[in-house]
Amino acid sequence: MAAAIVFAVLSALTNACGAVLQRLAVVDRTSQARSVWRTATDLVRQPMWLLGVLFLVGTFGFQALALYFGPLSVVQPVLVLELIFTLGLRVFVLHDDIAPRTWSAALMICLGLAAFLVVALPGEGSHVPNAGQWVLAASTRGLAVLVLLLLSRYGSPARRAALFGAAAAVVWSVDAAFVKQAVDVLAHGGLVGLLTHWPLYALIVTGVLGTVLLQGAYAVGPLAASQATLLIVDPLVSIALGIELFGEQLRTGPAYVFGAVVSLAVLGAGVVMLSVWAPPVMTAEEVARLPGRSGGERALRRVPS
């Protein structure tokens, strides 16, 4: 279990690094008027953007290793630490000033996560899901995604972004279950077994769909709304899938259940507050702060999230 937590933490860290690097690269290239094609080709040649890609590849690898060594109900909640790592990068790389209330929200996330892992004590399951169980799990989550997307057609931008984020979270949780199954197939059947079985192709489909839904969430409303629902719904759905598909175990005594619910509530509250209180999204001003940037870039205006 310790290995699962370590690899999950590394996945969260590399995801934060990749996101920050790619965001800086995109801002750097879009601070001047360029065509979409010119911007894309410039990004591919930019070392910062390519390094971000390598970090994101590492994210998937570390998550796969974490899911090999541990249950969904441990790995997916730990990935929420990405928020805190991103905050740390804003301090140490961009020298942003972080308000004390933002750090208090980060502390709530850590306390809620630690309390859940200690109180619920999630354990690896020994159940191997059959085809019928996979179909039932995927179809019920697919229906939930459809309902969320239908509801996201109406309401304020924040409401629409939150519902889009929740839909993306459901898809990502199913994707994590496919990753866990694919890693198991790889461990027992090798590369040939992986290429000749369905989990690899299922996770590709859900990965693409989750990415599309996430971009839609960013487009329809504020980042704070979509980010909060994404990072709250994903662990909850993943815990349910782990129990349903793989027979993962949680402590079930009344006191343990109450403690787990309170812990997840604290974690969720911390995610919401950190999403709202986080610094504005990175813009060309942040890029100008990095060593070697020209002073003229510092005149670019900061755009709030």
CB neighbourhood size of 13 (10 A): 21
C-alpha 86/C-alpha 75 separation (Å) is 18
Which domain, by its residues, includes 183?
125-247
Structural domain includes residue 66: yes
Structural domain includes residue 197: yes
Structural domain includes residue 103: no
Tell me the per-residue pLDDT of 90-139, one tens digit each, with 9 for 90 and over: 888 777 788 889 899 999 999 999 999 999 888 888 888 899 999 999 99
Q: Is 249 left (phi over 0), alpha (psi -120 to 50) or beta?
A: beta
On whether both 169 and 239 belong to a single domain, the answer is yes
On whether both 239 and 285 belong to a single domain, the answer is no
Structural domain includes residue 257: no
Structural domain includes residue 136: yes
| Domain-terminating residue out of 197, 231, 247 | 247
pLDDT attached to residue 92: 81
For every residue of 99-120, DSSP letters joined together read: PHHHHHHHHHHHHHHHHHHHHH
Structural domain includes residue 11: yes
On whether both 242 and 129 belong to a single domain, the answer is yes
| Residue type for position 58 | G
Structural domain includes residue 179: yes
Tell me the per-residue pLDDT of 250-273, one tens digit each, with 9 for 90 and over: 988 899 999 999 999 999 999 989
> Can you tell me the mean pLDDT for 153-159?
87
Residue 16: pLDDT over 50: yes
What is the reported pTM?
0.81
Residue 201: pLDDT over 90: yes
pLDDT attached to residue 51: 76
Alpha-helical runs (H) found in the chain:
2-30, 36-44, 47-69, 72-78, 82-92, 100-120, 131-151, 157-195, 198-220, 223-246, 254-277, 284-289
Q: How many domains does the chain have?
A: 2
